[in-house]
């Protein structure tokens, strides 16, 4: 009798917790399990940094095709540097044969999970998510990479340390390099991807380009807004036939209330066109259409920095009802209007535009009045020469008109940018600022406003920091710039370091914004603000025991350790109760056969060392 075939051992992700891959990545917690493997929270033992490690199921490593897909995901994703694409940093194989990817650790949930919980999303919530997906895809397409497997499961809604929600595109495992000579290009006739979100050309196995991803975003938009998928079939083959031949129904079929958003319905329909030539030709074009469809209602993701509030001063009028240009009759009297996100978008925009128009009128009037003074002086100087006086008066009139027009032109762009920012329309604000900077590239006011707009556009923080650096060369930064730069301290390391460099160069003027974050921010954001305050010699202006003590319980291991070490350096005995509690904290992990082992919690050794250091320095 033949020996029975031995099947591959079952994959038990929990059994890997506590092991170290490649002598670098210690798997500290199991996060999720999928069809191809599992994802773990891991710590880089040399860099002391938390990452995510994606492990391929061992029974799949015998498939050369799957191994190559895994390797390609690492190769492609590591080349895509964009705020809206997950960063992959490493790829390897352990001596036991486990294939793994190391990538940035994200906190949050997938769009799939959110939709499973909430059913559908309102347009004001859905569009910013979709806009960021388009921004990430545009970066990938710019490098010739087509994702080919976009779906809600591969759209992750990540929560940053500063509390801002950022959309990340995941899983470039079956991405296609748009290069006819590439050996990795999928052969014609082979269908790859998830049937629910395949483009018609993918469903038929024909050649594809970036417009296939545009179609997938259109279907994701349909699912996100409608609460269900537009097609329902008994099997994958039937679904592929629908993708290839059946038009996507209008969004207003499942959601008649979306008739109030005709441009949004039209943008979704265009993205889902069966003919690639009838779709948006780029992901950026689709993103622009989605944002424009909401108009002033287009909002940043929840947790983003809100647009500035509006403060209107009463305008003194003369008896004829004209603006006198004088100061308010009651010193300090102002009309404080709620922030635009607390008003309806239409009201917020109207108030901002009214403010901008008044500023333009006053600028033009000031130029006109100055021209009148010059004319009076010039005519007086040639009194007694009637012919010459007429010529001078005419010249001054022309000069006055020119001055008024130039003043109006100079004031128009900044006022328009401010109005758009107040209406929470940063993309349009940036476009206006860019157009004006083409004529006045060193204008400090326009550079500041451009930086402000970029900080409110998903994926634009890095360029916004560059704009503030240019503005600083042309003139001093303002409180809005300081607030944006301090907020960037809570973002990715490269952005935080660039923002910190600018803030250090500014020095004391930036301290109020830095100290606010040092006293009230959370996690890594707060830790970086405290470090910056220390570099500027102002750390003692914060309650350091309170600030660092609260960070001892942070979710980020690095933050806990750094806070404990700093409390030990400060040496204040008031920190001892918090340090002792943190030193006694334990964590439990499961091992083989369900056994449980207890170990000091992350940061506990550092807290214990800090407490001992303080106790040793106390007088006996």
Tell me the catalytic residues. 149
Q: How far apart, in Å, are the Cα atoms of 251 and each of 60, 109, 518, 520, 567?
A: 40, 25, 47, 44, 57
Spatial separation of the C-alpha atoms in residues 16 and 591, rounded to whole Å: 8
What does the alpha-carbon distance between residue 177 and residue 191 come to, in Å, rounded to a whole number?
16
Q: Give the pairing of strands 176-177 and 145-146.
A: antiparallel
49-56 and 37-44 strand pairing:
antiparallel
Which letter does DSSP use for residue 441 in this model? T
Any bridge partners for residue 30, and if so which? 40
Contact 190, 203 (CB under 8 A): no
CB 37 within 8 A of CB 69: no
Stated as kind and residue range, the H or E segment containing 523 is helix 523-535
Q: Alpha helix (H) ranges present in 80-160?
A: 111-118, 123-142
Three-class SS state of 23: coil
Cβ density class 528-551: b for 16+ within 10 Å, e for less: bbbbbbeebebbeebebbebbbeb
Which residue blocks in 295-443 are alpha helix, DSSP H? 345-381, 386-422, 426-439
Do the strands 49-56 and 88-93 form a parallel or antiparallel pair, or are they unpaired?
A: unpaired
What's the rounded Cα separation, in Å, for the pair 199 and 214? Answer: 9
List the structure tokens of 457. 């556009």
Q: Virtual CA dihedral for 513, 514, 520, 524, nearest 10 degrees?
A: 140
Burial of 9 (0-12, 13-18, 19+ CB in 10 A): exposed
Q: Where are the beta strands (DSSP E) in 237-362?
A: 310-312, 335-337
Within a 10 A sphere around the Cβ of 595, how many other Cβ atoms?
A: 8
**CB–CB of 519/9 below 8 Å?**
no
Give me the residue label for tokens 């210690």: 26
- With tokens 């809604």, the residue in question is 157
Q: How far apart are CA 384 and CA 380, in angstroms?
A: 9
Instruction: Copy the structure tokens of residue 552.
Output: 């001892």
Q: Which of 543, 546, 545, 551 is nearest to 602 (CA)?
A: 551
Largest Cα–Cα separation, the chain? 131
Handedness of CA 251, 256, 257, 261 (dihedral sign): positive
- DSSP state, residue 10: P
Relative orientation angle of helices 557-570 and 576-583, to the nearest 10 degrees: 140
């Amino acid at each position: 009798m033949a020996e029975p075939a031995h099947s591959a051992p079952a994959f038990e992700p929990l059994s890997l917790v506590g092991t170290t891959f490649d002598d670098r990545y210690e798997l500290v917690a199991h996060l999720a399990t999928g069809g191809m493997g599992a994802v773990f929270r891991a710590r880089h033992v040399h860099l002391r940094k938390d990452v995510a490690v994606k492990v391929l199921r061992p029974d799949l490593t015998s498939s050369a095709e799957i191994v190559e897909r895994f390797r390609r995901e690492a190769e492609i994703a590591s080349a895509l540097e964009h705020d809206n694409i997950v960063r992959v940093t490493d790829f390897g194989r352990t001596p036991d044969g486990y294939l793994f990817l190391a990538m940035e650790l994200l906190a949050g949930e997938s769009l799939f999970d959110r939709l499973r919980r909430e059913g559908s999303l309102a347009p004001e919530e859905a569009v910013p998510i979709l806009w960021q997906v388009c921004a990430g895809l545009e970066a990938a397409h710019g490098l010739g990479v087509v994702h080919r497997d976009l779906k809600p499961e591969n759209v992750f809604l990540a929560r940053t340390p500063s509390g801002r929600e950022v959309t990340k595109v995941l899983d470039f495992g079956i991405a296609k390099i748009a290069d006819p000579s590439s050996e990795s290009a999928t052969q014609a006739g082979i269908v790859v991807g998830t049937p629910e979100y395949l483009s018609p050309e993918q469903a038929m196995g024909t050649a594809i380009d970036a417009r296939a991803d545009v179609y997938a975003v259109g279907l994701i938009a349909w699912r996100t807004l409608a609460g269900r998928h537009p097609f329902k079939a008994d099997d994958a083959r039937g679904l592929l036939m629908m993708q290839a031949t059946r038009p996507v129904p209008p969004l207003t079929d499942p959601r008649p209330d979306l008739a109030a958003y005709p441009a949004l319905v039209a943008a979704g329909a265009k993205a889902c066109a069966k003919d690639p030539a009838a779709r948006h030709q780029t992901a950026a074009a689709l993103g622009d259409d989605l944002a424009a469809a909401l108009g002033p209602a287009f909002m940043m993701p929840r947790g983003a920095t809100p647009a500035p509030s509006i403060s209107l001063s009463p305008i003194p009028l003369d008896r004829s009802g004209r603006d006198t240009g004088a100061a308010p009759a009651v010193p300090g009297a102002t009309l404080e209007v709620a922030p635009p996100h607390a008003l309806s978008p239409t009201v917020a925009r109207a108030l901002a535009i009214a403010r901008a128009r008044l500023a333009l009128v006053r600028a033009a009037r000031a130029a006109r009045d100055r021209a009148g003074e010059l004319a009076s002086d010039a005519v007086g100087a040639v009194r007694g020469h009637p012919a010459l006086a007429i010529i001078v008066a005419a010249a001054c009139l022309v000069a006055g008109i020119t001055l008024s027009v130039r003043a109006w032109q100079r004031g128009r762009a900044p006022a328009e940018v401010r109005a758009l920012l107040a209406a929470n329309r940063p993309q349009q604000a940036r476009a206006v600022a860019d157009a004006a900077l083409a004529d006045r590239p060193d204008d400090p006011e326009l550079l500041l406003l451009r930086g402000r707009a970029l900080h409110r556009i998903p994926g634009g923080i890095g360029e916004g920091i560059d704009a503030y650096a240019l503005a600083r060369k042309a003139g001093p930064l303002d409180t809005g710039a300081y607030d944006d730069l301090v907020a960037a301290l809570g973002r990715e390391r490269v952005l935080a370091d660039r923002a910190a460099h600018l803030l250090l160069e500014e020095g004391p003027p930036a301290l109020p914004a830095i100290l606010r974050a040092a006293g009230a921010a959370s996690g890594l954001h707060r830790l970086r603000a405290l470090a910056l305050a220390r570099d500027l010699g102002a750390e003692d202006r914060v309650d350091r025991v309170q600030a660092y003590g609260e960070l001892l319980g942070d979710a980020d291991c690095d933050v806990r350790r750094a806070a404990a070490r700093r409390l030990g350096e400060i040496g204040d005995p008031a920190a001892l109760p918090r340090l002792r509690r943190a030193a006694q904290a334990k964590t439990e992990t499961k091992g083989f056969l369900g056994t449980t082992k207890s170990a000091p919690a992350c940061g506990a050794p550092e807290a214990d060392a800090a407490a001992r250091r303080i106790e040793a320095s106390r007088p006996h």
